[in-house]
Structure 1
Amino acid sequence: MSGDAEAAARTAAAVRAFTGRLGLPGLVDVHTHFMPERVLDKVWDYFDAVGPLTGVAWPITYRHEEEERVTLLRQFGVLAFTSMLYPHKPAMAAWLNSWSADFAARTPDCLHTATFFPEDGVEGYVRRAVEAGARVFKAHLQVGGYDPNDTRLEPAWGLLAEAGIPTVIHCGSGPVPGKHTGPEPIARLLGRHPRLPLIIAHMGMPEYEDFLDLAERHPEVRLDTTMVFTGFSERLAGFPPAALGRLAALGDRILLGTDFPNIPYPYEHQLDSLERLGLGDDWLRAVCHDNGARLFPPR
């Protein structure tokens, strides 16, 4: 058995021991990345080069071909996952949506994921994605460099709010601030669309408490755990211990996210990090499976 295969087997055993102890059928991971090969290669090149949006060494633990990455998630007992993908320029989102629709069609345990960018025609291709069965959208304000309040996006936000389709949105200022990151642009967006179902990626790192404020005020705002509490992220932007009680109180709106495959540690480290918080097995069951299964019920 190769070193990669041995590591995968250890992780699969560790993850299944975790879910077995909690009595869960598996995991629902709302923040995993699958995208066209040439796009993912550029993302990995960026991490390898210690790009300015990361600023730290970031080895990719699961640098494998697409089919092997899907197989790994299944071996880990992940019942549902996403193909988080995002454009960094105009005239890219519709093509990404076409790819992700095909990926979801041939990968039934992947939630049909779509994306958008502030550009002419955005309402049309978002509507087409919704009509084609998209179940979750991805927005990346840091990489895309756009304001979520751009007027060109307003019809798309209205459509998603009416349809009740969640958007996983990277809007926190971690690992470095962007022109439009932070809680204020999201607060303005929610002021116009208070029922918009947003999933705050990385719990809004490092503005954790500000995004907890928004979640407490807006019942359709959720937060995903992606990379939060891990040793890697705690060194960059530690979660404030005083806010753990608020996290426990929002236990029905916290969702497991991992950033697989683009993580610099084994998959089970995210789960271990959540367990070490000491918020209890009921909280873990809700976060790692029940909340995601309720938001994205099997079809």
Structure 2
Amino acid sequence: MIDGRMKLRHIACFLEVAARSGFGRAADALGLTQPAVSRAIAELEDILGAPLFERGRGGAVLTPQGIAFRTHAGAAFAELGRGIDTLRRPAAGDVVLKVGALPTVAARIMPGAIRRAKEMGLDATIAIEAGSNGWLLDLLTEGRLDLVVGRLAEPKAMMGLTFEHLYSEPIVFVARRGHPADTGHPVGLVELARHPFIMPGPGSIIRPEIDRLFLMEGLAGPAERIETTDASFSRAYVGASDAVWVISHGVVAGDLDAGTLVRLPLSMSISGGPVGLTTRAGHAPLPQAAIFLEALREVARAL
């Protein structure tokens, strides 16, 4: 039975602090003062009889109890919001389908999926939230997204979520046409590492695979590198230099088809892992979400 002392403001503050890993950032997002947010969390911890956050100079980190509570609190908060939306937006066309999309994979599948969903009769506004895989899964857990198109995360991050495999996407090494390594013959990583590299930062989900490849070749990494997930910057920089860009194939598929970039034939293969749909476990999707999910599956099968 829910303790009568627990209020919606407690849950809202908890979810915001968890999402933003800090009391100050959560207060700004909620339009409250930091002491008010801190007080709400302290009250919630007293009600639950368990610590929910570890406080430190770097921010607030969920405890194991906080992780467990977040899964259920986020889902309940989302269902409440969905019920309110049902009353406020009775018309089907007023439904907003909130989709999280990992930038490194969204470019390959999202445009076609949206077109196909519209052909299948989807009558809803699609709001796309782009961000890192971890950030999107946090939003999904809290009910702020209906689904996420991204990569399979570690088991800990998948608590309360389900993953459906759509396709596997390789990680590719690309460069401008006419690059010194663009010879048409397989090139070794040791040779490529002499050039500047552009690659995702340590927090990205494909970075461990990239680092592992270098270690297999006995290399700590490229001598010179720029870490970013900004595709626009990376295209511009690669096009004007001898840099090598390491990225998911879907991000540069159009560039490769157009011939503005070339895929360097690395002598070793590197797999980027599965790409798929992540949804909240045990929650039936909205009818509009079900249409979009089927459209995503159709487009993925055609890849």
Instruction: Compute the TM-score of the two structures, normalised by the length of structure 2.
Output: 0.23
More strand per residue: 2
Higher CA-based Rg: 2
By relative contact order (CA 8 Å, sep 6+), the higher-ranking structure is: 2
